[in-house]
Amino acid sequence: MLIAAPAVLTTQVGDEPVPPGYVAIEGGVVTHAGHGSSPRRPDVELPDGLLVPGLIDLQVNGYYGIEFQRADESAWATVAGRLPETGTTAFLPTVITAPIAELAATLRQAAGFAPSPGGGARVLGVHVEGPFIAPSRRGAHNPAYITDPTPAAVEELLAAGAGVLRLVTLAPELPGALAAIARLAAAGVLVSVGHSDATAAQVARAADAGATKVTHLFNAQRPLGHREPGVPGQALTDRRLTSGLIADLWHVAAEVCQIAFAAAPGRIALVTDAAACAGMPPGEYLLGGEPIMLPSGDGEPPVRADGTIAGSALRMDRAVANAVSCGIPLAAALAAATRVPADLIGRPDLGRLAAGAAADLVWLSPDLRTRATWIGGRLAYSDGAAATLAAAPA
């Protein structure tokens, strides 16, 4: 299949959207992506917007009324099947602080669902956010279940999550945390600093031990200070660390989003931190098995009863558009939603349009809204436009 578009952005380093462009696909893999006129008559010709790699979200607590912490296989498949509507083609289902035994049971259950429930967005593994976090920076996490990362607790999660545990968020200042980071990293699990009251020096020691990420930069962590840089200060200056950023413009102000991209180019990964309320009308939903309230449908995040922000209702394509609205160049905003997270989790076959990469593509409208999504070269979502209906699977 050959898809032609008014502009193609491959997210290769230094690439910019230059009109027109095309992508050739064979056997679910990109064989060529380029700028200029198509080498032959295209099978699909997009009338406007641009063609980009599929978006990758490393923090999804739930969506469409479903919370992963309480979801069965059918519910996982429902979310994976619908995420392409938002341009997301790969993601990490995320579960938050709970008793270790409960998290282990969730991981064992999830092992039967990954990596492709129902043929929708790719499940890249599971992100466990907590329970090894700082009580003072717990955010919406239940303090009753917060605990230290003892060797026994870490081994229980590793055993239960064999083959599926991909990312753990923890606070590196806790007793035993540096040993836990080293053990998780040695097992091939990515470690992210988050929900932490760590100093910059403690974050640096976490990176020394093997941490490579910071969870939702600026949120639920010791803030940036002019004498003590805190978690954000180390995150933005330490080239070993890539930071997740919730660009709903509620969690982080537009000006601070600009600062993050300027301070750490190529090391910002857009995430949604979406909760079960995402894609749903205002009302009550669950996060970590406990109630949250989505107060409106205007992008405002959900909250606990005490007003604490509890996840988001953000779409990945909206995150890209919001970043652009903050003054971030389009190529940088899209890289933060594609190539940067793909590289962080060791998936060079995702997040770019290049020969040999998976044919995960998104057609974005001029206002950066998803119009069609392909996963492995097969149409996974279309808004019904005639230009994409021809590419629907038989």
Domain layout of the chain by residue ranges: 2-52+353-389, 56-344
* pLDDT band of 393, cuts 50, 70, 90: low
Q: Which long-range contacts (CB under 8 A, 24 or more apart) does 33-42 make?
A: 33/8, 33/353, 33/354, 33/355, 34/8, 35/8, 38/2, 38/4, 39/2, 40/2, 41/2, 42/2, 42/3, 42/4
Percent of the residues in the chain that have a pLDDT greater than 90, as a whole number: 89
Looking at every residue in the chain, the average pLDDT score rounds to: 94
Rg of the chain in Å (alpha carbons): 20
pLDDT digit string (tens) for 323-338? Answer: 999 999 999 999 999 9
Name, of 15-29, 55-69, 111-125, the range with top average pLDDT. 55-69
What values do phi and psi take at 55, rounded to 5?
-80, 145
CB 250 within 8 A of CB 321: no
Residue in 307, 358, 266, 308 with CA at minimum distance from that of residue 96: 308
Strands 290-294 and 283-287: antiparallel
DSSP state of 115: S
Q: Which amino acid is at 87?
A: G
For 265, residues 6+ apart whose C-beta sits below 8 A from its C-beta are: 332
pLDDT digit string (tens) for 216-263? Answer: 999 999 999 999 999 999 999 999 999 999 999 999 999 999 999 999
| More confident of the two residues 392 and 70 | 70
Q: What's the CA gap between 381 and 239, in Å, rounded? A: 37
Superfamily of domain covering 2-52+353-389: Urease, subunit C, domain 1 (2.30.40.10)
**In this model, does residue 114 exceed pLDDT 90?**
no
pLDDT digit string (tens) for 89-98? Answer: 999 999 999 9
How high is the pLDDT of residue 124?
95
118 burial (CB, 10 Å; 0-12 / 13-18 / 19+) is middle
pLDDT digit string (tens) for 264-307? Answer: 999 999 999 999 999 999 999 999 999 999 999 888 999 999 99
How high is the pLDDT of residue 117?
45
Within this chain, domains 2-52+353-389 and 56-344 share the same CATH topology: no
CB 208 within 8 A of CB 218: no
DSSP state of 18: B
Q: Where are the alpha helices (DSSP H) in the chain?
A: 73-82, 100-110, 151-160, 177-186, 200-209, 230-237, 254-263, 316-325, 330-335, 339-344, 386-389
CA distances from 66 to 122, 265, 277 (A): 17, 34, 8
71: which 2 tokens?
């979801």
CB 341 within 8 A of CB 268: no
CB 207 within 8 A of CB 236: no
Superfamily of domain covering 56-344: Metal-dependent hydrolases (3.20.20.140)
304: which 2 tokens?
């606990």
* pLDDT band of 111, cuts 50, 70, 90: confident
User: Which residues are designated catalytic?
Assistant: 273
Residue in 316, 282, 318, 328 with CA at minimum distance from that of residue 301: 282
